[in-house]
Amino acid sequence: MSGVKASVLIPVYNGAPFIKEAVESILNQPFTDFELILLNDASPDNSEEIIKTFKDARIRYYRNEKNLGISASRNKLMTLARGEYLIVMDDDDISLPNRLEEQIKFMDSHPDVTMAGSWCELFSRKPDKGIINYLKYCFYNLGWIWTQKNSPGWEEMFCCNPIMHTTSVLRRQHIEQHQIRYNSDYSPAEDYDLCRQILSAGLKLANIPQLLVKYRWFGSNVSITRRPAMKIADHKVKADVRNILQTTRPPYPYYKVILRKLRLKILLRKY
């Protein structure tokens, strides 16, 4: 397969519980000019067995001989890609049916944009047991939408990661021209640093004010299981941004980020 419009890139690690839904959400898109590249980062579970049940010519499957980590795996996926656009997705999330069509239409009509994300809806599956887990399940399924600023710049970077990474699309030509790659020194906030690299290269970020992805919360998200490492990496990116802005302002409190960005779906007029 050559000359496809988009390459959908999914790194996989212990994705067995959710990878089937993730893959189906891409294969069922009305837009069809894409390849789906799945890279298994030496998962010890049966992710590979599940992936190989799909018989679709648009799927390209690879497996690392040893675990390389998320940054190296994402870089390898970009190297394998053939598409004009690189569409990023995590192995436990779901792309809504119009995601590819809307993002490609947006990028085609905004040739100056290097990376664009979208809004996403939080959701969770029903827990097996535990009243606390059940209450969390009820809360996350109220219809919370994570919104983003349409044209984020340095000020937004200083506050938080300006793009929900699992919703993003990248213009491959810009990424290759400026040799932008995921940096493992910033993992597990390598996606936040990627936005910093894009802005540092004089390129543009954007967000499409549409709901295009469902983000799964299940208690084992990296932001939860690696919270201390995430906090350190996040502060490292913010320190770089602070130097660029030449400011001594303290980091923007995360509770303010949540208040700014999290909205109930029922209260958003369009939805």
CATH of the domain at 116: 3.90.550.10
Which are the contacts of 44, defined by CB distance < 8 A and separation ≥ 6?
14
Contact 188, 233 (CB under 8 A): yes
Each residue's pLDDT tens digit, 55-101: 999 999 999 999 999 999 999 999 999 999 999 999 999 999 999 99
Residue 75's φ and ψ, nearest 5 degrees, are -65, -40
Q: What is the domain count for the chain?
A: 1
- Looking at residues 14-23, what average pLDDT do you find? 96
- How many Å apart are CA 96 and CA 120, to the nearest integer? 10
* DSSP-derived pairing of the beta strands 169-171 and 85-88: antiparallel
Could you tell me if 145 and 264 are in contact, meaning their C-beta atoms sit under 8 angstroms apart? yes
CB atoms within 10 A of CB 180: 19
- Would you place residue 40 in the very low, low, confident or very high pLDDT band (cuts 50, 70, 90)? very high
**pLDDT computed for residue 271 by the predictor:** 62
- The encoded tokens of residue 101 equal 């069509």
Residue 1 in domain: no
Cα dihedral angle (184, 189, 191, 192), rounded to 10 degrees?
A: -120
| pLDDT confidence tier of residue 270, bands split at 50, 70 and 90 | confident
In a domain, 56, yes or no: yes
Mean pLDDT (the chain, rounded):
93
User: Which residues span the domain enclosing 107?
Assistant: 6-267
In a domain, 84, yes or no: yes
Q: What is the pLDDT of residue 172?
A: 98
Query: What is the rounded average pLDDT of the residues 181-186?
Result: 97
The stretch 42-54 carries a mean pLDDT of 97
